[in-house]
Structure formats: C-alpha cells, structure tokens
C-alpha cells in the first residue's frame, strides 16, 4: 500500500506540473490576445467604429464550435468560455473607447442630472470629453444661463414630469440645440418636444437601469422627431459606448412597451401580491425550488427590491396601458369556468394552441432558459 501511494504521488506530481505549465501558457496567450485587442481599440478610435460587432462575434463562435468538435472538446463548453472572453474584451474596449467623443467640443445639458440615470449619462458624456452641465430641481433660477450655447438638452426626469419640463426648458433653447428625452413612453413627449422646440428633436429610451454600469450590448430605442441628420452624432456616440440601437416610431415603441414593460411588471406585481396574501413562507419555499423556479421567484423579488414610484409611473403612464391590464385581468377571469369544471381537456387544447402560436421561439426560449439555469446552478 505504501509503495502504491509513493508511485501515485510521483506520477501525479508530474501530471500536475504539466497542467500548471499549460495554465501558464493559457494565461500568456490571453495576455497576448488582450494586447491585440488594445491595438484594435486604437484603430476603432481613429475611425469611430463601434465596439460591438455581432456578425464577427457569432462567426467566431461558430468556427470555434466546429474546431471543438474536431478536437473532441465540448462545443458548449468552448462557446461558454469564449462568450466570457469576448464579454471581457468588449467591456475593456468600451472602457477605453469611452474616452472617445464623436463631437467632444459639444456642450450637453442634462435636465434631471441629479437622478441615477441622469448621473449615469453625465458620467458617460464627461468621460468622452463633453462639456456637461446639470440642471436639477433647485437650478431653475439659472436655467437661462445653463442653456447658453447648449448643443444638446437631454431631459431625464420621471414620466409624469416630462411634458411639463419640456415646456419649461424650451424657451431657453437656441434653434440649433437638439432636444431629446430618455422617457419610457415616446409618443406624448415627442409630440410635446416638436410643438415646443423648433430645432432638432429625437426621443430615446434606454432599456436598462442605471445600475448596469456599462452600455455593452444594452438596447437604446431611438424615435425620430425632426432633423435626424443633426441628431446622428448622438446615435453614433451611444453606439461607440457599446449600445445596440433600435430605431422605431414613437407609436410602435409605446405599443410594444405596453407588453414588454407594463404587462410584465404588473403580472410580476400580481404574483408577488398573491404570495403575500397567502402568507407563503418564502425561505422554506426556496428550499424546495428547482433552479427554474428559483429564477422565477428571483425576478419577483427583484421587482420588490426597487422603487415603487418608478414602477407605478411605468404601469399607470397612459390610458392605453391601464386598459391593457384590464384586458389581462379579464383574460384570467375567463379561466375560472375551466377550473370549476376541472376541464383538463380544455386546458390541453388551449395549451397546444398557444404552443403552436409561440412556434420556433419556444425552442429558443428552452435554450436560453437552460443556459440561465445552468449558470444559476454554477453560482449557487
């Protein structure tokens, strides 16, 4: 037994030494890769090329999966590894590109710049060399002074205050100033901006929170108002920061947001309220939860960890949104008869109809949710 252990110790030491050597080579190669990335960043800076190149990344992942198959490596493992490497590379590039301004001599005024989102965008503009001014609640006495020679006035205030703020700031803006907003509804603010300001107008909606810390692959919706060519530098700047730009009309934006934001948040709120009313023991429930249910509970808990007034403004913002939620509640009530009758066949019939309507997205959803579940298992 002693001799066997001695031989094992000698053999495994040699193997571990070789593994350590390979790990060192991997680190050296990653360092060399990062050096090449920094050269790419310098080239992109010169030519104002955006960091995120989805076609290039997906092509690289596809090639690596093929190579992994040829070398008997798990393609999924290879993809996960390189997604992490590419993400780190993008964040590094964005951090370095953040100092690149498309029009660094531009003067930016952020109305509501004391809020979290306002502070976030103020830091981005400042890092890129822009002259940034802030107009907060207590600064309206010097609004005229702050607006002098401003090239961009960016409104970043709660939904219910946006239109009033547009009316208040417009008289101080020059005809060449771009007026833009960051509100999560677009039709009404865009109309108000066009009425109040004769210059260039555009609507923006960042589909993320200020806690994100980076614009890497974050979606920003752009709704055209007036003189879009004059506003193009702003779109290019956000692209340079790593954002994915989605252009659409204000009407289409608001219609889609009724589902993406309003309905989703209200359904989550309703689920949380039901758990509360039933006095569900959350801690004990989580002990019995598989990763997918923990993920769902996590999204509910995430909602209630945030600002209630923010979500109330999103949910109650328009008459159309409130009507959609009434339709949603009516739809739920329609299931009462099925439950009273214990009609499993009707449930299966409805289920199959809806599954057919979801089509190929169901398979995509399975892949994406499986990925998230596996990451949750790895983390916890």
pLDDT in the model for residue 251:
96
d(CA 377, CA 370): 10
- What whole-number percentage of the chain has pLDDT above 70? 94
Cα-trace Rg, the chain: 26
DSSP-assigned letter for residue 115 = S
Mean pLDDT score of the chain, rounded to an integer? Answer: 89
Asked if the model's pLDDT at residue 132 lies above 70, the reply is yes
Asked if the model's pLDDT at residue 214 lies above 80, the reply is no
- Chain segment 144-177, per-residue pLDDT in tens: 999 999 999 999 999 999 999 999 999 999 999 9
Domain positions in the chain are 2-89, 107-248, 253-379
Asked if the model's pLDDT at residue 98 lies above 60, the reply is no
d(CA 347, CA 338): 7
- Chain segment 233-262, per-residue pLDDT in tens: 999 999 888 888 999 999 999 999 999 999
Asked if the model's pLDDT at residue 198 lies above 70, the reply is yes
Asked if the model's pLDDT at residue 94 lies above 70, the reply is no
Task: Please state which architecture CATH assigns to domain 2-89.
Answer: Up-down Bundle (1.20)
pLDDT in the model for residue 213:
72
Concatenated DSSP letters of 38-49: HHHHHHHHHHT-
Q: What is the mean pLDDT of residues 78-84?
A: 86
DSSP-assigned letter for residue 51 = S
Class of domain 107-248: alpha beta
Asked if the model's pLDDT at residue 41 lies above 60, the reply is yes
Please provide the CATH number assigned to the domain covering 253-379. Answer: 1.10.3660.10
């Amino acid at each position: 037994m002693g001799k066997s252990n001695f031989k094992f110790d000698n053999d495994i030491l040699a193997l571990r030494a070789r593994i350590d050597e390979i790990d060192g080579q991997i680190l050296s190669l990653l360092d060399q890769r990062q050096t090449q990335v920094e050269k790419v960043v310098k080239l992109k800076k010169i030519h104002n090329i955006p960091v995120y190149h989805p076609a290039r990344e997906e092509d690289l992942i596809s090639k690596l999966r093929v190579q992994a198959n040829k070398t008997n490596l798990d393609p999924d493992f290879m993809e996960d590894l390189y997604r992490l490497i590419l993400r780190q590379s993008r964040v590094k590039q964005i951090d370095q590109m953040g100092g690149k301004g498309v029009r660094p001599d531009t003067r930016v005024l952020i109305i509501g710049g004391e809020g979290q989102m306002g502070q976030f965008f103020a830091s981005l503009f400042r890092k890129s060399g822009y002259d940034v001014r802030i107009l907060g609640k207590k600064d309206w006495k010097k609004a005229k002074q702050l607006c002098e020679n401003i090239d961009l006035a960016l409104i970043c205030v709660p939904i219910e205050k946006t239109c009033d703020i547009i009316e208040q700031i417009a008289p101080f803006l020059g005809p060449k100033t771009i007026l833009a907003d960051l509100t999560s509804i677009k039709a009404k603010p865009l109309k108000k901006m066009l009425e109040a300001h004769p210059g260039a107008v555009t609507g923006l909606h960042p589909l993320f929170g200020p806690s994100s810390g980076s614009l890497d692959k974050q979606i920003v919706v752009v709704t055209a108002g007036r003189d879009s060519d004059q506003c193009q530098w702003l779109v290019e700047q956000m692209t340079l920061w790593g954002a994915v730009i989605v252009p659409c009309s204000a009407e289409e934006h608001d219609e889609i947001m009724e589902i993406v934001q309003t309905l989703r948040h209200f359904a989550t709120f309703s689920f949380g309220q039901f758990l509360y009313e039933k006095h569900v023991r959350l801690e004990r429930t989580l002990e019995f939860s598989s990763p997918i249910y923990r993920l769902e509970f996590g999204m509910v808990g995430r909602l209630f960890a945030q600002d209630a007034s923010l979500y109330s403004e999103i949910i109650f913002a328009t008459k159309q949104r409130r009507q959609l939620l009434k339709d949603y509640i009516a739809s739920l009530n329609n299931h009462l008869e099925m439950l009273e009758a214990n009609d499993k066949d009707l449930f299966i019939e409805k289920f199959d109809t809806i599954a057919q309507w979801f089509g190929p997205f169901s398979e995509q959803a399975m892949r994406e949710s499986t990925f998230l579940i596996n990451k949750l298992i790895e983390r916890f």
